[in-house]
Amino acid sequence: MNKALGTGMKNTQWFLPSTPSFPCSWDRSCQCNSSSCLKVPIFCLVKIVDILEQFLREGGLSALMWEVCQQQAQAASPELQETLLNKVVCLPDHLSNKLQGENLPIFLPQNYFPLLGTEIIQVLQRISDSLRGGLDCSISFVSQVLGKVCVHGRRKEILSTLVPCLTDLTKSDCIWQRMCWRLVECVPDRWMEAVVCGFVQTAPGADVLSRLLGNLVVKNKKAQFVVTQKLLLLQYSCPTAMLQNLLGYLALDNSRRFLLLKVLQELMETWASSSAVKHSPVEQQLYISKAILICLSHLKDVEIDSHRQELFTCMMEGMKCHLDSNLPRIRCLGMIVAESISSRINTDGPILKFQYEEDDETRELKSLLTQMLSPPSVISPLDEGRKDSPSAVTEAELKPGRKPLAAACAVSEEGSDSELDSDDDFIPYDMSADKELKKTKAPLYIRDCIEVLTGPEDMDKWEATMRVLETLIQRNTAATQEVSVELAKVLLHLEEKTYIDDFVELRQKALVTVTITDPIPVAQYLTSQFYSMNYSLRQRMDILDVLALAAQELSRPKAPGKNKPSSIQTPCIQILPGSDSSKDWRKIVDERIKSKTRRFAKGQSQVELVCAPNKFSSVAGHFFFPLIQNFDRPLVTFDLLGDDHFVLGRLAHTLAILLYFAVNTVVAAAMGKALLEFVWALRFHTDSYVRQGLLSCISSTLLSVPSDRLLEDVTEELVETQAWLADAVEGILLLPQMQ
Amino acid sequence: MIAAMALPPPDPEFVLRGTAAPVHTLHFSCRGQEPEFPILFSGSANGLVQIWNLKTHRVDKTMDGHGGKSVYWVETIHGRDGLLSQGRDQKICLWDLAEGRNVVTDSISVDSVGFCRCSLLKVAQDRWLIAMPANDPDEVQVLELPSKTSVCTLKPEAGAKLGMPMCLKLWQPGFGACPFLMAGYEDGSVILWNLSMGKMLSRLACHQEPVMSLDFDSEKAKGVSGSSEKVLSVWSLDEQQNLKVHKTHELINSGISDVTIRQDRKILATAGWDYHIRIFGWKKVKPLAVLDYHTATVHCVAFSDHSRPSERLLAAGSNDQRISIWSLYNQT
C-alpha cells in the first residue's frame, strides 16, 4: 500500500482533478481527527500522519496551490477553495490537537510555515512560467493563503522565508515584480493589515519595500489606512527602523509623495495638539516625534517651500504646549522637534536653538533627521527577538561599566611605562597636601556669615561662607537660634553672585539645617513666605523642598552623641532636572552582584537600630497646616489653581511627604483629614502631575494615619476617595476598549 | 617598591629669619675653598642686600644701596668679590666685596620700570654680558661688562605686540660660542634672540598670560617657563633653532613666580603663588615633591653651587619674610 501511494505521489496530479472528491474525504477525516480522536484506531492515525508528512516533504503543498490557481482561472467552486484554504493554513493546529505529544517536527508551526513560504515561492515560479508562456493564471488563492497565515499570527515565520526570496527575485525581473504586487493586492481586505504590517516589518529597507508593495497604498484603501493612519497615529509599538521603512516607502515614488505630505500634516497636528500632549503616553509622543523627524528628512526643499507656513504655525503651537508640560522628557522632545523643523524651514534666517541635556534619546532623534535612507536597516525577526531577550539587556547595561575599567587599565599601563623608561630614580614624596589654595578665611560665627552674605561683594569670602555655613549652624545651635529666621530670610533671597559648582545644593543644605535647628519659627516663616507676593516659582519650590528635607531629617532617629545629620538624601519627589536613566544601571549591577555574593558571616551582623524620639512629631503641624491652608487663594503673581499647576503638583507631593514623616504622631490624624479634603477638592485637576501628587497624598494618609482613627474620624472622606479611585480605575480599564 | 607608601615631604633644613621684608631674590656662593664659608645673598623689598653665612645661619653683612627700593636680582661677579644687584630705583649696582669691603663702585641706570630681572653671562675672563630691559618698553638691551658698552638692542618687529620683556636668560651653546638670549614676554611668548645679528630666531607662544620666569638647559636644548596660569610649559629647541612645545604640566594652583633648573640638570624647582615650592624631575617633568612651609607667595628659588653634590641646597624666599633652605635629592 505504501509503495503504491509512493508511486502515486510521484505523479503530483494524482488527486486533482481526476479525483475531485478527495479533498472532501480528506476534510472529513480531518474533522474526524479533531473531534473524535479516540475513535480512530491508532494504526490508522499513524498511517495518515505518515502520508501527510510524505505529502509535505514531496512538495504536495505547492502542487495543491498550483492546481487551485489554475482552476481559479477557470472559475472553480468557492466552497472547495475555502475549505482548502482552511486546511492549508490550519494544518499545524489540527495536527497538534490530534497528536498532542507525538507531533512530528514538520507539523510544528515554526517549521511548517517557513515550508509553506518556500512552497508559495514554488507556486509563484510556476505562475511566472505560465505567464511567460502566455497562459492566464490567478494568484488570488496564494494571496488568500498568505493573508490568512498572517492574520493567524504566523507572519514572522512565513515572511522570514518569503520576503528574502521575493527581494532577490524582484531585483531585476519585472514579471516577478508585477506578480509580487498582485500577490499583495489580491489579499482580501480583512487580512490586508496583517500582511502589510508584516511586509513593513520584514523588509530590509525602504527600497525593497517599495519594490515588493508597488503602489499598493494608492490602490487599496485599506492598505492606505493601515500605512498612513494605523501604524503611525493609532499605535506606537513599531521600532524606529520600521518607521524608517514605512516613511521611506512613501517618499520613494512620486505617486506616493502626496501621502507623505498628508502623513506629515496629520503627525504635526497631533504633535501640536495640547490635548494629545497632555493625555497621550510619553512613548507615543516619542514615536510621533520620531515619525515627524523622519518625514522631515525625506522632504524636498520644494515641498517645504509650499508648506512652510503650515509647518511654522504647527511648530509654534506644538512648541508652546510641549514647553508647558511638567514632564522634562516631553519638554525635551518638543525642543528637539521644534529645532529640527525650524532648521528645515528656515534656510537662511535664524533658527531655533534650545538648551537641553544630551543623552542617548536626543542623539538618536537628531540622527533621524540627518540620515537620509542611507543605512539599509535590516531587522530580521531573529534580531528583534534578541532585542527583547534578557541577555541583550545585560550586555547593554554592563557596557558603561566596562568602559571606565578599560580606561583605568590604559592609564595604569601608561604610568608603569613611564616608570620603567625613566632612568632618574628619584622617588616622589607624598603630594597629597597639594590642594587648591583657599585665599580667604571662612567666617567663624553665624552673625559674620549673615554679614558676609548680605554685605558688600567679596566673592572669595562669600564662597567660603557658603561652604562653611552648614557646619557652622550645626556646631552653634544656640547662636543659630538667636538669628534663625533672619538667616533663613537671607538664604531664601540669596542669589548666586558668583559661580559655585554646587551653589543650589549648598544653599538648600544650609536652609535645611537652619530649619532643623530652630524648627517652629523657621517653618512658620517659610510657610508664610510660600503664599506671599514677590517670589519666583523657583523660590516657592525651594521652600517646599526645604520643608520636606527638614521633616525627613527631624523624623530620622539619631544617635544621642552624634548631632550631625548624615548626608541628606533627596526626597522622594521629582526634582526638576528629571529622571536620569543612565544612573540606574549601577544599581542593577550592584544588586546582581549582591545576589550572587555568598556571605559566610554567622549570627547577627546588623547594627542595632538606634531608638530616639521623633523630633518631627511636636512640630509637624507648623510645617503642614500653614501650607495646606491657602492653596485656593490666588495672588496677583501666584495662582496655584491656574497657571502655576506645576507648583501645585509639588505642593501635593510635599504635603504627602510631610504626612508620611509624621507617622505615629498625634497630629497625623488631623493632618490626614485635612489632606483628604485637599485631595477631594482637586480630584478632577487636568494636570497629570498634580493627580499623581494627589495619589501619593492618599497613599501617605493610608500609611500614616492609624486605621482605627481612619475609620472613626474620616470615614466619609475615605469613602468618597474610594469611590473616586474606583471610578478612575474603571476609566483606565475602559479606555482601551473605547479605542 | 612602587607600591610602598610615599614618604611625607621633608621639612626645611633650616630657616633664615630677619630680612624684615619680603624676600625677592636669592643667590648662592658656595664654591669658595676653606676657610671661606658658603654664603647666600638675599635681596628684599626694603632695598637691602644681605649676606647670610650658611654655617652660622646669621647675617654677615647688610648692604643698603637702593634707597629703600626693592631689590629683585642679585648675582656675583669675580667669584664672590663682586656683586651685581638690581633694584626698583632703576639702578643696577656693582658692589666691591673684596677684602671685607662693601661699597658700590659703579652703577648702571635702567630706564625700564618693569619687573624684568637681568641676566648675566660670563663670555671670557673678566668679560661679561648683561641683558636688561631697555628704554623702550618692548626692547632688551645687552651690555658688555665691565666696559658698559652696548652690544646690541633687541627690538621686535613692529606689530609683534609682545609687550614688555618679563624674564631673560643669556646662554651660549659652548664656551666661546656665539651667545643667545631667551626672553619671555608679557603676551606669553618665549623668543630666542641671536645676539650677534640682533635677530629674532624663533618665537613660541607657550602661555596665555605673561611669562613670569624661565630657565634654559643648553645641553639638552630644552627650557621651562612658568606664567601666572596653572601650567608649567616645557619647550625644546631643535637643530633649525625653532622652539617647540615639548610638554605642558598642569598645576593645581595658578601662578609661578620663579623657575630654576639645578646645575646638574636633574631636577627643577618652581616658586608658586600658592605658597608651595614644587620639585620636578627635569627629564620627564615628573612631579617629585610639593614643599609646604611658607605662608605667603614664594618669590624666588635658587640652587646652591656646592662643588660636592651631597651638600647642595635649595633656597626659597617668600613674601612671609623668611628664607627656607632645603636639602633634596642629593644622593647621586
Rounded mean pLDDT for each run of 10 residues along chain A, 739 residues in total: 40 39 42 47 83 88 85 73 87 86 84 90 88 82 90 89 89 86 89 91 89 88 89 87 90 88 91 87 91 90 87 89 86 90 82 86 86 46 39 39 38 41 70 74 84 82 87 88 91 84 89 92 92 86 93 77 42 43 69 75 57 82 89 77 84 93 88 90 85 91 89 86 87 60
Closest-CA distance of chain B to residue A558, Å:
37
- Nearest-Cα residue of chain A relative to residue B328: A426
How far from A645 is each of A139, A631, A690, CA to CA, in Å?
61, 11, 7
The answer to whether the CB of B111 falls within 8 A of the CB of B162 is: no
Annotation: CATH topology of B23-109 = Thrombin, subunit H (2.40.10)
Grid cell in block for residue B43: 635681596
B281 shares contact with chain A (CB less than 8 Å):
yes
Q: Which residues of B touch A430 (CB under 8 A)?
A: 5-9
Show pLDDT as tens, one digit a residue, over chain B (332 residues). Answer: 444 567 888 999 999 998 899 999 999 998 876 677 899 999 999 999 999 999 999 999 999 989 999 999 999 988 888 999 999 999 999 999 888 888 999 999 988 888 899 999 998 888 899 999 988 888 999 999 889 999 899 998 888 888 999 999 999 888 778 899 999 999 999 999 998 888 899 999 999 999 999 999 998 999 999 999 999 999 999 988 899 999 999 998 889 999 999 998 999 999 999 899 999 999 889 999 999 999 999 999 999 988 888 889 999 999 999 999 999 888 76
Give the whole-angstrom CA distance, residue B187 versus residue A244. Answer: 55
Task: Identify the pLDDT of residue B1.
Answer: 42
A418, A419, A429 ranked by CB distance to B289: nearest = A429
pLDDT of amino acid A75 = 65
B198: left (phi over 0), alpha (psi -120 to 50) or beta: left
Q: What does the pLDDT read at residue A515? A: 93
CATH 2.40.10.480 residue ranges for chain B? 23-109
Q: How far is A476 from chain B, CA to nearest CA, in Å? A: 29
- Residues of chain A contacting B329 with CB distance shorter than 8 Å: 426
Is A439's Cβ below 8 Å from some Cβ in B?
no
**Would you mind telling me the total number of residues written for chain A in this entry?**
739
Closest CA–CA distance from residue A694 to any residue of chain B (Å): 51
For B11, which residue in chain A has the nearest alpha carbon? Answer: A429
Nearest CA in chain B to A422: B284
> B288 to chain A: which residues are within 8 Å by CB?
426-429
Nearest chain B residue (CA) to A428: B288
Q: Say yes or no: B217 contacts chain A, CB-CB below 8 A.
A: no
* CB distance B330 to B33 below 8 Å: no
Q: Looking at residue B41, what is its pLDDT?
A: 94
Q: Which three cell numbers stand for residue A304?
A: 517645504
Identity of residue A515: T
Q: Is A349 on the interface with B (CB under 8 A)?
A: no
Q: How far apart are CA A575 and CA A541, in angstroms?
A: 10
Residues of chain B with CATH 2.130.10.10: 114-250
The torsion region of residue A356 among left (phi > 0), alpha (psi -120 to 50) and beta comes to: beta
**Closest C-alpha among A37, A45, A157 to residue A97:** A37
Q: Per the confidence metrics, is the pTM higher than 0.80?
A: no
What ipTM is given for this predicted complex? 0.81
Tell me the three state secondary structure of residue B228.
Answer: coil
Distance from CA of B105 to the nearest CA of A (A): 44
Q: Coil, helix or strand for A453?
A: helix
Work out the minimum CA distance from A437 to partner chain B, whole angstroms: 6
Alpha carbon distance A673, A709 (integer Å): 10
| B280: nearest CA partner in chain A | A428
Cβ partners under 8 Å of residue A639, min gap 6: none
- For B288, the closest of A426, A433, A436 (CB atoms) is A426
Measure the CA–CA gap between A305 and B32, rounded to whole angstroms.
90
Amino acid A138 reads: S
Residue contact B253–A437, C-beta within 8 A: yes
Fold for the domain defined by B114-250: Methylamine Dehydrogenase; Chain H (2.130.10)
- A410-to-A399, A400, A591, B201 alpha-carbon distances in Å: 17, 16, 28, 40
Cβ-contact A329, A320 below 8 angstroms = no
B6–A428 C-beta distance less than 8 A: yes
Interface check for B3 against chain A (CB to CB < 8 A): the answer is no
Angstrom CA distances, A661 to A19, A242, A549, stand at 84, 49, 10
State the cell numbers at A597.
Answer: 555574593
